[in-house]
């Protein structure tokens, strides 16, 4: 009994004594929302992604992929720079990525169903896990 209490106190001291940083060196990206899941001519897609970065050097790049299985010519992959903003440790915030209809209009003369995938890298080339959007229907017009 005495050893159980001592072990419990020892374990509690270890767990409360460890003061780990809130964020790691690898950026974390989460999909928050998209403004529509059915896109028509004249509209634009607006993805909202949340991020955290413990090192404060997120001004790296963003990987974006549009995957359209039924029409590979509509698919694309691109790397964009993340706009520069004041750096500080343990950063968190939102990234908004927009695409007007004209940039992602169906190229196979039919409606497309696309899934968008995103990842971010910081200046040290630490890359987040990839996050995906829900399926987006892009109406051919």
- CATH number, domain containing residue 55: 2.60.40.770
- Asked if the structure places residue 33 within a domain, the reply is yes
> How many domains in the chain?
1
- Asked if the structure places residue 11 within a domain, the reply is no
Model confidence at 17: pLDDT above 60: no
Beta bridge partners, 50, equal: 30, 94
Tell me how far apart the alpha carbons of residues 58 and 36 are, in angstroms, rounded to a whole number: 28
Tell me how far apart the alpha carbons of residues 121 and 23 are, in angstroms, rounded to a whole number: 15
Nearest to 63 by CA among 101, 9, 27, 112: 27
- What pLDDT digit, counting tens, does each position of 119-130 carry? 999 888 889 999
Name the 3-class secondary structure at 74. Answer: helix
- Asked if the structure places residue 111 within a domain, the reply is yes
Tell me how far apart the alpha carbons of residues 129 and 12 are, in angstroms, rounded to a whole number: 32
- Asked if the structure places residue 86 within a domain, the reply is yes
- Asked if the structure places residue 77 within a domain, the reply is yes
Nearest to 66 by CA among 47, 49, 51: 47
Q: Which residue range forms the structural domain that includes residue 73?
A: 21-138
Tell me how far apart the alpha carbons of residues 46 and 99 are, in angstroms, rounded to a whole number: 7
* Side-by-side strand order, sheet with 44-53: 28-34, 44-53, 91-100
Model confidence at 2: pLDDT above 70: no
Model confidence at 18: pLDDT above 70: no
What confidence score (pLDDT) does residue 6 get? 43
112 near 138, Cβ under 8 Å?
yes
95-105 average pLDDT score = 94
- Asked if the structure places residue 90 within a domain, the reply is yes
What confidence score (pLDDT) does residue 19 get? 47
- Asked if the structure places residue 130 within a domain, the reply is yes
What confidence score (pLDDT) does residue 84 get? 76
- What pLDDT digit, counting tens, does each position of 39-98 carry? 999 999 999 999 998 877 777 789 999 999 999 999 999 998 887 777 778 888 899 999
- Asked if the structure places residue 4 within a domain, the reply is no
103-122 average pLDDT score = 94
Token pair for 134 = 């829900």
């Amino acid at each position: 009994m005495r050893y159980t209490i001592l072990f419990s106190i020892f374990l509690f001291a270890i767990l409360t004594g460890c003061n780990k940083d809130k964020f790691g060196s690898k950026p974390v990206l989460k999909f928050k929302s998209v403004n529509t899941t059915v896109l028509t001519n004249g509209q634009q897609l607006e993805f909202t992604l949340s991020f955290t970065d413990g090192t404060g050097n997120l001004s790296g790049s963003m990987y974006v992929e549009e995957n359209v299985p039924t029409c590979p010519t509509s698919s694309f992959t691109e790397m964009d720079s993340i706009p520069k903003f004041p750096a500080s440790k343990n950063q968190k915030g939102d990234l908004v990525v927009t695409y007007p209809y004209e940039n992602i209009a169906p190229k196979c003369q039919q409606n497309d169903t696309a899934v968008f995938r995103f990842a971010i890298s910081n200046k040290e080339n630490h890359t987040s896990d990839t996050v995906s959007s829900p399926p987006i229907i892009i109406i051919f017009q």
